[in-house]
Amino acid sequence: MSPCQLYCFAESGNSYKAALMLALSGASWEPIWVDYFGGETKQPAFRTQVSAMGEVPVLVHEGERIAQSGVILDYLAEQTGRFGAQDARERREIWGWLLFDNHKFTSYFATLRFMLGIQNAGESPVTEFLRARVNTAFGIVEQRLTGSAFVAGERPTIADLSMVAYLYYPEHTGVDLDAFPRIRDWMQRIAALPGWKAPYELMPRGPARAARG
């Protein structure tokens, strides 16, 4: 596979999904840091030249510019032959979990992390609501992992890489992962894959935020 470029920033769990896939696949790639906190994604130049959606990650490969982490993961699975579906039934299973991730699993957890761990907004009825939704979604995945090592079966797929990504961030969320031991074990299985790195090891941070640790 020819080299890729990934528009990203280290604090972005959605960017980490794509970066982790690239790392685990052994692909050649270059991160292009996006100054999200400085408002770069809101600028007209970014929206016309990088992403009309004003979001990261964006993958550039062989003249294609691909947005949205789930689409990027699917594309990379096709290009690398890694972590993708082996048949139509498995593809449906993987996409079912990818959609569940975007709507429930990552969605609530990422918002909670952003409010408490990035914005330091403090607890509120909103964070209590989000945490309740997180615990419900995590409970579903905990049960799923009772009967299989990975969410789509007995081998890791892009569904796992999408769903697990935000769980490796250290920021405070108030979610007790010790209450979900199968999710903890699943995280360890993913982290044991050759090429795995934590998000702040894979992608660049802005100078001001990096200095704060």
Report how far Cα 94 is from the mean position of its chain's Cα atoms.
15
Residue 21 is predicted with a pLDDT of: 98
What is the per-residue pLDDT across 143-199, written as a single tens digit (0 to 9) for each? 999 989 999 999 999 999 999 999 999 999 999 999 999 999 999 999 999 999 999
For the entire predicted model, the pTM comes to 0.95
127-139 average pLDDT score: 98
Least reliable range by pLDDT among 13-27, 76-90, 110-124, 195-209: 195-209
Q: Domain 4-83+196-212 maps to which CATH number in 1.10.3720.10, 3.30.450.20, 2.60.40.10, 3.40.30.10?
A: 3.40.30.10
What is the per-residue pLDDT across 38-82, written as a single tens digit (0 to 9) for each? 999 999 999 999 999 999 999 999 999 999 999 999 999 999 999
16-44 average pLDDT score: 97
> Which residues are CB-contacts of 175 (< 8 A; sequence separation ≥ 6)?
109, 112, 131, 134, 135, 138
d(CA 162, CA 180): 18
State the alpha helices, DSSP H only, in 101-124.
Answer: 106-113
**So where are the chain's domains?**
4-83+196-212, 88-191
d(CA 130, CA 167): 15
Q: What CATH code would you report for 88-191?
A: 1.20.1050.10
% the chain with pLDDT above 90:
94
Residue 211 is predicted with a pLDDT of: 47
Read off the DSSP letter of residue 153: B
